Amino acid sequence: MSIRTSRLSRPLLALSRPLLLSTLSTSTTRPVRPTVPLPALRPVIPSHAMTMSTRTPDAAKGPKVHVALVQLPAAMPGGKAAQVARMREMVRDAVSQGRDAGEAVDLVVLGEMWNGQPSHDELVKNAEPIPAVGAPEASWPAEATTCREMADAARESGVWLLGGSIPEAADGRLYNCATVWSPEGTLVQTYRKTHLFDLALEKMTYKESDTFGAGDRLASFDTPFGRFGIAICYDIRFPEIATIAARQGCTAMFYPAAFNTHTGPMHWELLQRARALDNQIYVATCSQARDPGAKYEIYGHSMAVSPMGEVIGTAQEKEAIVRVTFDPEVIANTRAGIPLLTQRRFDLYADVSVTPPTANGK
């Protein structure tokens, strides 16, 4: 039996192995509605560890989402004040660029630890208490200066702002903490990095957990244009986070991050493409720009990847604004063409988004 598929259907014809040619057939000669409905999202029960609403949104439906990744310069002379001032300028630039292009920015994303230099002393100096989610601004601690600037930036431009991460001072220690701000300047979500990088080798030791505490929950946030997951840098190496987010209806995972020039070229793009393709969602990272004089060479390359694993936007190492659009229809087409959602074998392996953590876990 011959196979006739139009050129138009190619994007949907995303088969991994249609080996059995005789079972492959065109169903009609003229466009009609599919006889079988597109795969529906499985209803899932949120893990106890994921803070989000329980009503699962459908990432394959809804409006397009216009996102700007703001790759701020790292370690500017002038420290925190200079970083925050540049953040304000670049958020304004990102929003006006979107407006000029007729794709008004919905959501701006900043990088990891973007408000100062990465030395221990500087982190301690720049750390601030982060207000409770939803707390009225009048009740915020005076020291929450970066938070006030992020709230103002969101309000000023009328955008959602995923404020990358900043050093948070709480419980007498530091956390690597992300914040999310609504267009009204309300803090709607926080996420403390859950996977800390500790290393002990012959030639060197490195212990992030000496400085930072680890978060104790995963996080996402809801907007009128969909749900989005948040994790930070090294977290991207743990696939479960993106899988849980996708199964709970997220359109995208965002990773503020600061890979270096050693692992960056090897793994930065690969990890993002893997998380996107395996979970059929968008993935975006936001880095700081490289400080040419720094010992720690930041890779930069803030990036966004489609549900098919294609890079749809990227910066180089310098200061940059990357604008990309997330299209739920692309998610729908990807899931229809490669129906991973309906073909999983949860009789053979657990669903990490449903099963409660094991008692013998870490």
Q: Cα separation of 315 and 29, whole Å? A: 44
Member of 101, 104, 206, 318 binding a second copy (CB under 8 A): 206
Binding of a second copy by 293 (CB under 8 A):
no
Member of 101, 240, 265, 316 binding a second copy (CB under 8 A): 240
**According to CB under 8 A, which residues from 256 to 285 bind a second copy?**
257-260, 262-263, 266-267, 270-271, 273-274, 277-278
CB of 138 to a second copy, least distance (A): 33
Binding of a second copy by 358 (CB under 8 A):
yes
**According to CB under 8 A, which residues from 18 to 37 bind a second copy?**
18-28, 31-36
156 or 208: CB nearest a second copy: 208
> Active site includes 233?
yes
Task: Using CB under 8 A, count the residues that bind a second copy.
Answer: 112
Member of 77, 100, 102, 202 binding a second copy (CB under 8 A): 202
Q: How many CB atoms lie within 10 A of CB 256?
A: 31
Residue type, 122: E
Binding of a second copy by 139 (CB under 8 A):
no
100 or 121: CB nearest a second copy: 121
Q: Which residues does 59 contact at the CB level (< 8 Å), separation at least 6?
A: 41, 226, 227, 246, 249, 250, 251, 281, 328, 331
3-state helix/strand/coil string of 176-214? EEEEEECCCCCEEEEEECCCCCEEECCCCEEEHHHHEEC
Which residue reads 């002990």 in tokens?
Answer: 200
**According to CB under 8 A, which residues from 294 to 353 bind a second copy?**
295-296, 308-310, 336-340, 343-352
Phi, psi dihedrals of residue 87, rounded to the nearest 5°:
-55, -50
CB of 36 to a second copy, least distance (A): 4
Indicate which residue of 112, 128, 149, 168 is catalytic.
112
Which residue reads 């560890």 in tokens?
Answer: 49
142 or 348: CB nearest a second copy: 348
Binding of a second copy by 244 (CB under 8 A):
yes
214: its two tokens? 């680890």
Q: Cα separation of 228 and 237, whole Å? A: 18
- For residue 143, CA distances in Å to 131, 146, 186, 216 come to 10, 8, 17, 24
> Active site includes 112?
yes
Indicate which residue of 147, 149, 177, 193 is catalytic.
193
